[in-house]
Chain A
Amino acid sequence: MIELEEGIRKGLRIVPIVDKEIRQLVRDPKTILMVLLMPITVTILFGYGYGGKGAGKYPITVVNLDGGDGAFKFIQELRNSKMFQIKAIYKSKGQGFSSVYSGEVYASLIIPETFTEDLMRGRPTRVELYYDASNPTVAQMIMQAVGVVTQQFQEWAAARFGTFAITPMFYTVYGPEIKKIESFIPTLMAMILQMVPTSLISVSICREREKGTFEQFIMTPVSVFDIIFGKLAAYFLATISDAILSLFTAILLFDVKLKGTFLDMVIVSTVFLLNSLSLGLLISVFSRNQLQAYQASIFSFIIFMLFSGVFIPVDVLSSEAKLISSFVPMYYFVSAFRNVSLKGWDYLMVLDQLTVISMFTFAFLALSLRFLRMEVT
């Protein structure tokens, strides 16, 4: 066996590891389920759940307690703004509230009894907006739009009846969520690119420990570097399809119109995907078994969701929460992807966010390399 001795190659062992990992991934029914089925299912659910029709308008109801010309003019202004689709005009507050509670509309605007009279006499007056606070992003946009309409109406009225103020008053009501799917694409992508890859790779090392294959594996001259980067490369190849699949599903099934180019969206997604995988590897390095790894993945996912700005805009959080957000890679991804997909920016314009995400990736990988023990326990 002299030949054998001479034929042994030194150096990296990444390629055989990538080959092995991909074979294992392809044969694992869990992979098919998570990589292929889950993103599509989630996208479809989002599409049907949140893809409410309305041609860009937010459905609201109006409660007209005044009934005078001023009120009619105000309602006209709301219609003219093209921001709202007025589903109904009620005569009582109760009807208005229940339309929000039931989730039928995002908000109900109440015009008080003395509205026209106040206008004619040049007295300050108000309008009241009862909005669904369960969806802060949409609520903010409605508040803004109502503010704008009120402002315009006030200018018109001021010219006719003299100087006075119309104050929009905002009140919160909680109801079921209704959202437009475009604005949810960044959230959807963040979820799919975080949850699937992280949990999938997070069990990869500890499963080898649990099943005992690690003991045989480390009897070969593989290095920590080979294992970490071999697994990273294999799982990257397996999960990049995630991102592309979800985007296609959204675009084809729900007629999502995204302004960003496909390439820019893939670049931003790739940077974030590498981050999710690195985090998963780090979890795998520190987990004793597969259950622990799954738990850690889910736990980190929940934290990330809460502090990434997908539920509550980070601007409205407390300063402590903002500090946490600044350590959440998903926060930078959501912001970057929103700008690229919805505003049509190219990837160079979100380079700052991409750099921050990559710094986290680097840190996760460095820690994984540092703490992966080539031992059995």
Chain B
Amino acid sequence: MLKAQRLEEQPELAVEAKNLTKRFGKFVAVDHISLEIRRGENFGLLGPNGAGKTTTIRMITGVIKPSEGCVKVFGIDVAKERKKVLKYIGYMPQKFSLYEDLTVEENIRLYGRLQGLTGSLLKNRVKELLERFYLWEFRRRLAGKLSGGMKQRLALATALVHDPTLLILDEPTAGVDPPLRRKFWEHFRELNREGKTILVTTHYMDEAENCDRLALMNRGRIIAEGTPREIKRRALGGDLVEIVFEGDLDPAALPGVKSVMEDSSERYLLVVEDAGRDLPRIVKKAEELGAKILVASPMHVSLEEAFIRFMGESE
């Protein structure tokens, strides 16, 4: 009941950043970016190292002050009422930021207490998190003596101690080996299903495919925004299809074709308006023109390719 009320009261946007700018001396780390992250979505901030992702995130959490612009988290202005915002945010910084000279359990307990949990509530919550993130048997180990993956799990557990509605994860999988990375993304999806909004930064393009929406950042600016599919379409100007045929044919003249990307006399990569609609039309038209279609299929475009295109355009 309480929870339902809370949800209704809260606005549709989990994070709303307007004209966010951060200058360090003459260097502009983040340059007038605006972001809208909807409640319940898994939003990815994607970009190479030094693009300004961490600075953006730090302005959203309020641990650094923007030079310009403002951030609202669930409608609350971070600059003005930071303390009110904190209980909704669970934050996992890029660098391991827990106390290495405290044990796993002590770290979670400390953060639970700092968040205001006491008594059996605290005890149960700590136990629940230790079990959920497979840390129970390591609970008496000093955090400094954990492996990289375990440190990340501890950081995630600690970020969740006060059951925040918005989870902000800065490069949560940096330096984690691939099988563990996959496991982490399973955790994130699960948390997402529980109704938590997730803002995650990464420079692994394959991971970013898991996000509902993405913003591509480069040199302090957002160069593209949308779902992974939208971003790829925008990068190419449409969908990519592959056709292989025998016979005499000008692929550029086929219906829906916007451009020819690759031309190796037999095999063509074509950019079309919409693969689903245009492919059958292409096949039909080509056969009408007397060519024999051997292969006609939509091509997978990686985010990396799309990203490189956008970066090329922005420079």
- Enumerate chain A interface residues (CB-CB to B < 8 A): 1-10, 13, 15-17, 19-20, 23-24, 27-28, 211-222, 374-377
Contact = CB atoms under 8 A, between A and B. Distances in A.
Contacts of B97: 211-217
Contacts of A9: 116-118
A93 B2 CA distance: 97
A220 B106 CA distance: 16
Size range of the interface on B? 35 or more
Interface in B91-150: 91, 93, 95-102, 106, 110-111, 113-119, 121, 125, 142
B202 interface: no
Contact of B110 (A1, A10, A20): A20
Q: Is the interface of A mostly helix, strand, loop or mixed?
A: helix
A7 B113 contact: no
Given A212-B93, A220-B111, A4 B63 contact: no
A220 to B, nearest CB: 4
A5 B9 CA distance: 15
The 6 closest A-B pairs by CB, nearest first: A16-B113, A220-B114, A216-B97, A8-B116, A1-B163, A9-B116
Interface string B157-171: 010001100000000
Contacts of A214: 97
A23 B2 contact: no
29 contacts: A2-B2, A4-B162, A5-B3, A8-B162, A9-B116, A13-B113, A13-B116, A16-B113, A17-B114, A19-B113, A20-B102, A24-B101, A28-B101, A211-B97, A213-B97, A213-B98, A215-B58, A216-B97, A217-B97, A217-B114, A219-B61, A219-B91, A220-B86, A220-B114, A221-B83, A221-B114, A374-B82, A375-B65, A376-B63
A268 B133 CA distance: 51
B121 A7 contact: yes
A60 to B, nearest CB: 55
Given A16-B113, A19-B113, A216-B97, 15 more contacts: A2-B2, A5-B2, A5-B6, A8-B116, A9-B116, A13-B114, A13-B116, A20-B110, A212-B95, A216-B98, A217-B97, A219-B86, A219-B91, A221-B83, A377-B64
B2 A216 contact: no
Contacts of A213: 97-99
Contact of A8 (B102, B117, B142): B117
A254 to B, nearest CB: 36
Given A2-B2, A212-B95, A213-B98, A219 B87 contact: no
A3 B118 CA distance: 12
Nearest to B194: A1
Contact of B115 (A3, A6, A221, A376): A221
Contacts of A216: 91, 93, 97-98, 111, 158
B231 to A, nearest CB: 30
B275 interface: no
Given A3-B121, A13-B114, A27 B101 contact: yes
A15 B112 CA distance: 13
A133 B63 CA distance: 57
A9 B162 CA distance: 11
B89 interface: yes
Given A2-B2, A375-B63, A376-B63, A8 B87 contact: yes
Contacts of A5: 2-3, 6, 163
Contacts of B2: 2, 5-6
A10 B84 CA distance: 11
Given A3-B121, A9-B116, A376 B64 contact: yes
Interface of B: 1-3, 6, 58, 61, 63-65, 82-83, 86-87, 89, 91, 93, 95-102, 106, 110-111, 113-119, 121, 125, 142, 158, 162-163
B86 A221 contact: yes
Given A24-B99, A213-B99, A221-B87, A16 B63 contact: no
A211 B162 CA distance: 24
A61 to B, nearest CB: 57
B102 A218 contact: no
Contact of B117 (A4, A24, A374): A4
A179 to B, nearest CB: 41
B96 A23 contact: no
Contact of A7 (B3, B86, B117): B117
Contacts of B64: 375-377
B144 to A, nearest CB: 10
Contact of A219 (B63, B95, B121): B63
Contacts of B96: 212
Nearest to B24: A377
B258 to A, nearest CB: 47
A311 to B, nearest CB: 38
B77 to A, nearest CB: 16
B118 A7 contact: yes
Nearest to B102: A23
Contacts of B95: 212
Nearest to A222: B114
